[in-house]
Amino acid sequence: MSGKFSFATVGEFYGDDLTDFEAEKLQIGRYAAQPRVFKKHFAKELALYQTKWFDYRLLHPVVATYLYAAEFRRIYKRYYSKTIDLHKSRYIRGFSGQDAWVAKASNGFIKGRQQADSMGIPYWFYISNAYEWLYIKKWKHLPRHVHLYNQEVIDFVEMKWGEQNRGSLIIAELDFFKDYSNSKRPEFIAHQEWLVERISKSRAKQAAIESLNERGYFI
């Protein structure tokens, strides 16, 4: 598979090579029979482009859902190996099949992804910390994707995200954000504003700028 998108945590993932047309066809197919539901869903997805993590603003919501599911599968396997069986974890998939868009309880992937998007948090960070909270709470069973967006989980992840941002800088990883020819694009501008805002709170501003410049980011 030659992916259109690739991320450090999961690499290429199922659904990453969908065109916007193909992804939109899947989205319409899911909601076409319920016009009011689709209208509400479309409006929500449109609004989330203003808040979601910068890399994901380049992804169609369906592709973003596949990425969220890929992150879930990776983290689920990790916690399975940690809490249940290390050797069996290599065979664990987290959910049946490959296609999260049509998987059982697939709404859980959409809702979880939308929650992370509303908070502007990378999926890997959101899911990892959701699992950390549930692990701390000593759940008797390994949580599924439908358990990752109750209010207690959300509050804990939000707290951890705040701690993360006070201690270090997470930046967008797609090459789009290193290409200055995109400087007029709203996604690029929003990420630049994020970097400037974060650097303004750094105790070593010049060192932070130099580090970002060396990595290909323009400040």
Mind listing the pLDDT tens digit for each residue in 52-81? 999 999 999 999 999 999 999 999 888 877
pLDDT on residue 208: 85
Please identify which residue in the block is written with the tokens 């949580």. 143
DSSP assignment of 48-87, as one string?
HTTTS-GGGGGS-HHHHHHHHHHHHHHHHHHHHHHHT-TT
What is the rounded CA–CA span in Å between residue 94 and residue 133? Answer: 18
What is the rounded CA–CA span in Å between residue 31 and residue 75? Answer: 29
- Please count the residues of the chain: 219
Instruction: List, for residues 111-133, the tens digit of each pLDDT value.
Output: 999 999 999 999 999 999 998 88
Quote the pTM value: 0.91
C-beta atoms surrounding 184 within 10 Å: 8
pLDDT on residue 72: 93
